[in-house]
Structure 1
Amino acid sequence: MITHRDDLQDRFDDEIAAMGVRIKDANQFKVRDDVFDDVTLLALYKLVHKKHLSVIGGAISTGKEANVFYAEHDGEPIALKIYRVRSANFTTMGVYMTGDRRFSGIGSSRKALIFAWAKKEFSNLKRADEAGIPVPKPLIWDRNILLIGFLGKDEQPYPQLRNATLEDPAATYETIIGYIKTLYTGAKLVHADLSEYNILYGDQVYMIDMGQSVTLDHPQALRFLVRDIQNINRFFRTKTEVMEEREIFTAVTGISNDYEP
């Protein structure tokens, strides 16, 4: 039985092929019905029409709320991040959106929240990038889709920190603590989900997945910061000597050690 979505995707494939866009790993591109819904396919068509994409490849990663695909723009590797409109965790997202003044009054529908979440990650990446923190370069945002810089080599992404072989764990730990501070003081953000899963280790250390990151005036910002510090210390504690969590918190925020999260 041919569905509306099958017909839409077939027309999408034909039209972008006519525009000279190549699809790698076509089977991977079609398998997830909850990823490539009508909204997403139409947004992709818009990006292709504006010549932001020249190659769409296979999946790089599958997360709780989004899938990331390899892509290219005029021969340069980029990453295509698609937030799932149908199956992303609506409730979890709301915890990080509520209290963020940048996105007040976005409406209560699932689609509106997903679009705002994608825009939020784009904004957070831009702030982090401008502050000098290594993150995926924010390129384009449209509805539930982000085009960002590809972090990897030969079409393969850099490994997550948890899977990487660290040449100098102490130096890597110090670098990450420094990025937490720069994110706070320079970008005025708290990552809010920092762990060995949301850091890539390649030619340098990169922070990724910043949709949940919050500004410093968010009511839960300091609690999220404490959790980020605890996660990083937990990961590195068996690999190198770590700082006291309160000491890190004070160095990052300037708030005295009597703070209780």
Structure 2
Amino acid sequence: MVSDKNLSRMEERIDEFRMRIKDSSQREVFADVFDTATLMALYELSKKSYITAMGGSVSTGKEANIFHAISKKDDAPEIAVKIYMISTANFNAMKDYILGDPRFSGIKQTRKDIILAWAKKEFKNLKRAEDAGVRVPKPYITRRNILLMEFIGKDGVPMPQLKDVKLTQKEAQRIFNRIVEYMALLYSRARLVHADLSEYNILIDMNNMEPVIIDMGQSVMIDHFNAEKFLRRDVDNIAHFFKKLNIPVNEERMISIIKEEV
């Protein structure tokens, strides 16, 4: 049990961290969504200079919220704080992507354990993708249900999703080619299938018009029992989007390119 003295100290630390939230409206979000354990984990990360101040929410979903934050780290003055919501996340859907992954074969199948494993899984997947040469948000650290990673944007404004960017024919063709290249690198070097790739999970860096692959919590190893199904779904999603932009796409050719070096 936690002693009264330790409990009081924990509450003081949580209050101290709440004061680091720059936007007062976001304090209400934290009060409504995040439990004491999550706030304590955020506090510990702030003590290590990963988080100096929390900004506003840049993305919300059923499984996680992503916040912009300021960091004292020299190479990352702006970071993204992704927090998986233990109380509301659809952990039954998550189980389909966790089960069959040998990296997480020993975890318990409770809501909490699945969601905590999901945060670690996305961290590991991002690291594998980055090491393979795929442009993804650089992962920094994970604690409990929290993932800290590179913020793809500037001054708290995220780069747009692919679906929201108006592209010339030349830009669309180049971005399509790059995405297929990244899918191939994921498959051959990282040995991963994204498993939810679409125009919603690709950001465009408007500084150089390059795609950035995001949301890799559900990504599976290529020997996962559903890897082939997930790969074909990814290919179909990307093909469908770019066909609407009049880019000639052959799905079987895409799969051949992706698997070429395996």
Check whether TM > 0.5: yes
1:113 paired residue number? 114
Correspondence for 1:187 among 185, 190, 193: 190
Q: Which amino acid aligns with 1:227?
A: R
Residues 1-261 of structure 1: pairs in structure 2 closer than 5 A = 11-12=12-13, 14-16=15-17, 22-31=20-29, 35-74=33-72, 76-167=77-168, 168-202=171-205, 203=207, 204-254=210-260
User: SS of the residue aligned with 1:85?
Assistant: coil
* TM-superposition CA deviations, 1:134-155 (whole Å, max 9, x none): 1111001001000000000221
Q: Within 2, Cα distance between the matches of 1:66 and 1:112? A: 15
* TM-superposition CA deviations, 1:52-105 (whole Å, max 9, x none): 211111101002310000001117000000000100001110010111000011
Q: CA 1:236–1:29 in 2, change beyond 3 Å: closer, same or farther?
A: farther
Q: Which amino acid aligns with 2:218?
A: Q
Give the alignment's Cα RMSD to 1 decimal: 2.1
Q: Within 2, Cα distance between the matches of 1:35 and 1:125? A: 25
Q: CA 1:200–1:166 in 2, change beyond 3 Å: closer, same or farther?
A: same
The answer to whether the 8 Å contact 1:34/1:86 transfers is no
The answer to whether the 8 Å contact 2:14/2:40 transfers is no
User: SS of the residue aligned with 1:22?
Assistant: coil
Q: Within 1, Cα distance between the matches of 2:56 and 2:70? A: 11
Q: Which amino acid aligns with 1:86?
A: S
How many Å apart are 1:107 and its aligned residue?
A: 0.3
Q: Which amino acid aligns with 1:218?
A: H
Q: Within 1, Cα distance between the matches of 2:201 and 2:9? A: 34
The answer to whether the 8 Å contact 1:35/1:67 transfers is no
User: SS of the residue aligned with 2:147?
Assistant: strand
Unmatched 5+ stretches in structure 2: 1-7
User: SS of the residue aligned with 1:23?
Assistant: coil
Aligned length: 246
Q: Which amino acid aligns with 1:187?
A: A
User: SS of the residue aligned with 2:141?
Assistant: strand
User: SS of the residue aligned with 1:139?
Assistant: strand
* TM-superposition CA deviations, 1:127-183 (whole Å, max 9, x none): 001111111110010010000000002210001111112241111111111111111
How many Å apart are 1:222 and its aligned residue?
A: 1.0
Report the TM-score, using the length of structure 1 for normalisation.
0.88
Q: Which amino acid aligns with 2:197?
A: L
User: SS of the residue aligned with 1:31?
Assistant: helix
The answer to whether the 8 Å contact 1:34/1:87 transfers is no
Q: Which amino acid aligns with 1:85?
A: I
1:259 paired residue number? none
Q: Which amino acid aligns with 1:224?
A: F
User: SS of the residue aligned with 2:66?
Assistant: strand
2:3 paired residue number? none
Q: CA 1:8–1:162 in 2, change beyond 3 Å: closer, same or farther?
A: farther
How many Å apart are 1:108 and its aligned residue?
A: 1.6
How many Å apart are 1:29 and its aligned residue?
A: 3.5
Unmatched 5+ stretches in structure 1: 1-6, 256-261
Q: Name the stretch that deviates more: 47-56 or 204-213.
A: 47-56
